[in-house]
């Protein structure tokens, strides 16, 4: 039995967008879906609302079917620490309200939430069901917020607080291949900040290639989303209609 291969890019803003586009073009040719992790604020001085070029590009990506995932409120608000790593429920609720409201005003609504660096506190997980998310993704796995099912799958990252040194990149390539050989879901992510380095992009592609060769099937995170009751009802009606035709 083969697992899924889930690929994502984070830290997308004016300085990293072009590098992200280059990687996307390569992966689109390979038929590998890529999820984009986006946030309304990055580094304290970049705001999506004030960057019409990135905003338009993200909207175009979403229209073409690219999966966008909400990646926090302000990625740099707590310095080197990940934004949602240690928040209690009250503070997490305030930040999630701010992020979802601002992104909604810009025309973006999300089914999936992933905290910066994938580090999610128990308090954050506690309040997420009160928002309109279907999934939450952490460093250890994928949380189905509708069914409370948990799909264990460790995230393998280049950058995003995990480093991108040569030895680390090699370890990620080995881990991706090993996980795919075992039939596990392989999650690979890269920070847009590191994609300007050709060796990082090259090794990220190698990790993807190794996982695919070992049997992992490219997919997006939406593959773990349970269909809503409305969607199930619609599908049942369509099936019944085809059977009576």
Contact between 202 and 210 under an 8 Å Cβ cutoff? The reply is no
**Minimal CA–CA distance to 35: which of 137, 103, 134, 105?**
137
For 184-215, the pLDDT digits (tens) are 999 999 999 999 999 999 999 999 999 999 99
Distance between CA atoms of residues 119 and 219, nearest Å: 22
**Minimal CA–CA distance to 155: which of 108, 188, 185?**
188
Contact between 115 and 125 under an 8 Å Cβ cutoff? The reply is no
State what percent of residues in the chain have pLDDT above 90: 81
Q: How many CB atoms lie within 10 A of CB 231?
A: 11
DSSP state of 68: E
The pLDDT of residue 114 is 96
With the C-alpha atoms ordered 62, 67, 73, 76, is the resulting torsion angle positive or negative?
Answer: negative
Distance between CA atoms of residues 157 and 154, nearest Å: 10
Residues whose CB is less than 8 angstroms from the CB of residue 231 and which lie 6 or more positions away in sequence, other chains included: none
Map residue 33 onto helix, strand or coil.
coil
pLDDT for residue 233 is more than 60: no
Among 35-49, 73-87, 130-144, the least confident range: 73-87
The pLDDT of residue 81 is 67
Distance between CA atoms of residues 214 and 201, nearest Å: 20
**Chain CA centroid to CA 231, Å:** 23
Residue 138: C-alpha distances to residues 52, 62, 151, 202 (Å):
29, 22, 10, 25
Angle at 104 between CA 90 and CA 154, to 5 degrees: 60
Angle formed by the axes of helices 198-213 and 166-181, to 10°?
10
pTM score over 0.75: yes
Q: Is 84 exposed, middle or buried, given 0-12, 13-18 or 19+ CB atoms closer than 10 A?
A: buried
Distance between CA atoms of residues 215 and 9, nearest Å: 22
Contact between 28 and 209 under an 8 Å Cβ cutoff? The reply is no
Indicate the pLDDT class of residue 78, thresholds 50, 70 and 90: very low
Q: What residue ranges define each of the domains in the chain, with the CATH number in brackets?
A: 4-153+216-244 (3.20.20)
């Amino acid at each position: 039995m083969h697992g899924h291969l889930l690929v994502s890019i984070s830290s997308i803003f004016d300085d990293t967008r072009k590098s992200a586009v280059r990687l996307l073009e390569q992966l689109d040719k390979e038929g590998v879906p890529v999820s984009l992790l986006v946030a309304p604020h990055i580094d304290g001085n970049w705001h999506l609302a004030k960057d019409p070029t990135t905003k338009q590009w993200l909207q175009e990506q979403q229209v073409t079917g690219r999966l966008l995932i909400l990646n926090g409120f302000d990625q740099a608000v707590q310095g080197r620490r990940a934004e949602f790593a240690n928040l209690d429920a009250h503070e997490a609720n305030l930040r999630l309200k701010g992020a979802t409201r601002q992104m909604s005003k810009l025309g973006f609504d999300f089914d999936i939430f992933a905290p910066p660096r994938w580090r999610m506190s128990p308090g954050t997980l506690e309040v997420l069901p009160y928002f309109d998310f279907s999934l939450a993704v952490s460093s250890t796995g994928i949380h189905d917020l509708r069914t409370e099912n948990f799909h264990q799958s460790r995230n393998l990252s280049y950058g995003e607080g995990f480093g991108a040194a040569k030895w680390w990149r090699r370890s990620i390539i080995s881990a991706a291949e090993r996980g795919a050989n075992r039939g596990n879901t392989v999650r690979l992510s890269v920070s847009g900040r590191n994609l300007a380095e050709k060796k990082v992009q090259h090794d990220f592609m190698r990790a993807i290639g190794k996982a695919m060769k070992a049997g992992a099937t490219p997919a997006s995170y939406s593959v773990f989303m349970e269909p809503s009751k409305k969607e199930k009802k619609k599908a049942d009606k369509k099936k019944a209609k085809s059977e009576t035709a």
